[in-house]
Amino acid sequence: MARYFDVHPQDPQPRSIGQVVQMLRDDALVAYPTDSCYALGCQIGSQTGPDRIRRIRHLDDRHHFTLVCSDFSQLGQLVHLDNAAFRAIKAATPGPYTFILPATREVPRRLAHPKKRTVGVRIPDHPVVRALLRELGEPMLSSTLLLPDHDDPMTDGWQIKEELDHVVDAVIDAGDCGVEPTTVVDWSEGYPEVVRVGAGDPSRFA
């Protein structure tokens, strides 16, 4: 059974955040709110988390996982950025964008795209996930909480708890955070290409 944490959306309780982070360090898979919709997350070095996410979402090996970062310096350790990408991405973060970029050696090979060696990265603008990342001290591996038989991502914490009770270890409920996933910008070829329009304004990368 998943543990249920009811946290304040703007000022999350430190005790709850600390308990969730300890679970993450013990290889837990958690459902948590972001600035676009709910997501599934685990520690970047988790041995079981990526496969559990693939099973829940019915994903194949080509799926781009997202590495969720607390700040731009953390993001810069995971991906290669030229000057143009650096300026544009720094101006757009934190916010509801995911950027696909060439991975550095800091990224475990099993988490990058098997052929392109690319990975998705993002810096969310939501107090709960930012508190989690600060306490954890490293990026989280993440994927939108969109189930294979659903048209939209899940957004109600208690419903997530009921539906995923036996496949995740914790659910953090901070209220409704929307159903629109991030805008995805592929910058792996040296220029921006918007491959999914979501919560972030795509026009700045047109």
**All structural domains of the chain with their residue ranges:** 3-205
pLDDT reported for residue 109: 84
Residue 114 has pLDDT above 80, yes or no: no
The lowest-confidence range among 82-96, 116-130, 144-158, 170-184 is 144-158
The per-residue pLDDT for range 176-195, each reduced to its tens digit, is 888 888 999 999 999 999 99
Q: What is the pTM of this model?
A: 0.93
pLDDT reported for residue 83: 94
The per-residue pLDDT for range 43-70, each reduced to its tens digit, is 999 999 999 999 999 998 777 789 999 9
Residue 205 has pLDDT above 80, yes or no: yes
Q: Which residues contact 138 (CB under 8 A, 6 or more apart)?
A: 43, 44, 74
Pairwise CA distance, residues 179 & 105, whole Å: 33
Q: State which amino acid sits at residue 106.
A: E
Give the 3-state secondary structure of 49-96: HHHHHHHHHCCCCCCCCEEECCCHHHHHCCECCCHHHHHHHHHHCCCC
Q: Is the dihedral of CA 168, 170, 176, 177 positive or negative?
A: negative
CATH 3.40.50.10950 fits 3-205, yes or no: no
Q: State which amino acid sits at residue 46.
A: S
